[in-house]
Structures are given as C-alpha cells and as structure tokens.
Amino acid sequence: MHFTDFPPAGMPKSSGHDPASVVIIDYGLGNVRSVANALQALGADVQLSRDPADFKDADGLILPGVGAFGDGMSNLRDLGLIPHLNELVLNQQKPFLGICLGMQLMAKSSTEGGHAEGLGWLNADVVRFPADLQDLQASDSGKSGLKVPHVGWNDVTVKRTCPVLGLPGAVHSYYFVHSYILQCHDADLIAGSCEYGIEFPAVVQQNNILGVQFHPEKSQKHGLALLGNFLHLARNNRANVLYPQMLPESSQGDSIQPTQGERSC
C-alpha cells in the first residue's frame, strides 16, 4: 500500500527520529490491532495499553470500539480508567480520538439496550437510526427502505475547519459499520456529516477531543490521511490546527468488503 496522499504538502511524515507516540486504549471492545497497524504504517510509536501510567506519557490517545455502548462504559468503569481519562483529556487537554463506539462513548447517554450513561464529554446523546429510514435517492417514490446497520462506504462532507479534515465543503469517502448515531445538541460540535436516509454527524470536534463514526483504519487513503493528521496533532500536542490540503481531491475509496460477522456500533 502506498501513502502518496499523506502527508500534506509542507508537512513531514512522522519518522523514526521524531515519531508521535500514541496509546490505543485496550478496554476489551476495540479493533485495536487493525488501528495499530495503520498507525505504525504511518510511522507512529504505538502502544496498546490499559495502564493509565502509559496514557500520561503518550502524545495522544485513541479509543476505538465495536459493540454495545453499555458494555463499553462497563469495561472502562471496571478497569478504573474513567477518572484518568477525565483528567488527561478534559483537564490536561491531551489530544484524543474516539473511533465508532469510542466516539459514541463520549456522549452523555445512549438509548442502546435501554438507557446508559456515557462519559459526558460532549453535549450529545446516542440514538438508533430511525426505524423508517428511506433511501430518497433510490426511487422517485422515496419508499425504498435502507438497512440498519449502515454498512459500507459513504461520503462525508466537511462542515467546518477541523484538525483532521480538509477544507469546508470537501467531500471524502469512509467506511461505516453502525446502527446508532450521535444526536448533537450543539451544532458547533459537528465537523463533518454523512447522509443515510437522514443527515447525521460523522466527525465531531471539541477542542482537543475528536470523534469519527466511521472506521479510518478500514478507509484506505482517506482514513490513513485522517489518522496521519491526528498524529501531527498529537506530536505537536495542540488542538485547533488546520492543515491545508489534508486529503486528495478524489473522494472515492477503493472497494472493500464487510467482514463476515462484523459487529456494528
């Protein structure tokens, strides 16, 4: 695989001389190995850990995840990680990226399986896709139903400047597997949106906190570019940085097939 679209012009790729150090939080519900492989291919110093001492030394933290919201919160709670994450992310402003379920866990609550409290970092709640999703582009009648979970490639439109995305108005393709979405009560959180019967937040940002509903590690060149931009953010240990020309002009990802038995979030 070639990474010719990363890094952006004028920005050096992470190297062995100055790699970004990232901890992927291993809390029992993440596709941690595929995320680690993508980051290592981009030159990052990657560690899988559930030890808060490792979190403190890292330039950035990543919380991946597939599965149920309640299980994710229970695992974080049982491992005693929540107070440490609150301190590092909210108080010390360490760059943080939540992927799929990892993004959803940053919300106040979820309706999945009843009601479950989240980390509460974002003014948002997690809800299931509406039961009557219609693909308005599939037929003139607008009565073609869409399947849930939402699985496959879809376009994300950049809504505002964000450290890991391109310029506002740009459209890029990423790979999704999910049944639940963020319902943001603060529209300013939304950095990128996607349409699947309804428009929903695909990328959110609040200062040093970033979240993506899709799987960048499965999203080929655009996903790698996004992860690469997070590495630069982590290495520089600052938020609210816009890296120009971060993604290639083409928005089409290469073909990828869903993994059999793949779980959604």
Q: 143 with 157: CB under 8 angstroms?
A: no
Task: Count other Cβ atoms within 10 Å, centred on residue 53.
Answer: 8
How would you classify the pairing of strands 180-184 and 124-128? antiparallel
**DSSP state letter for 145:** B
Q: 256 with 153: CB under 8 angstroms?
A: yes
Q: Is 115 a catalytic residue?
A: no
Check 172, 217, 222, 232 and give the catalytic one.
217
Q: Is 100 a catalytic residue?
A: yes
> What is the number of alpha carbons within 13 Å of residue 2 lying toward its C-beta?
2
Check 215, 222, 232, 265 and give the catalytic one.
215
Give CA–CA dist 111/89, Å, rounded. Answer: 25
3-state percent helix, strand, coil for the chain, nearest multiple of 5 = 25, 25, 50
Q: Show which residues are catalytic.
A: 100, 215, 217
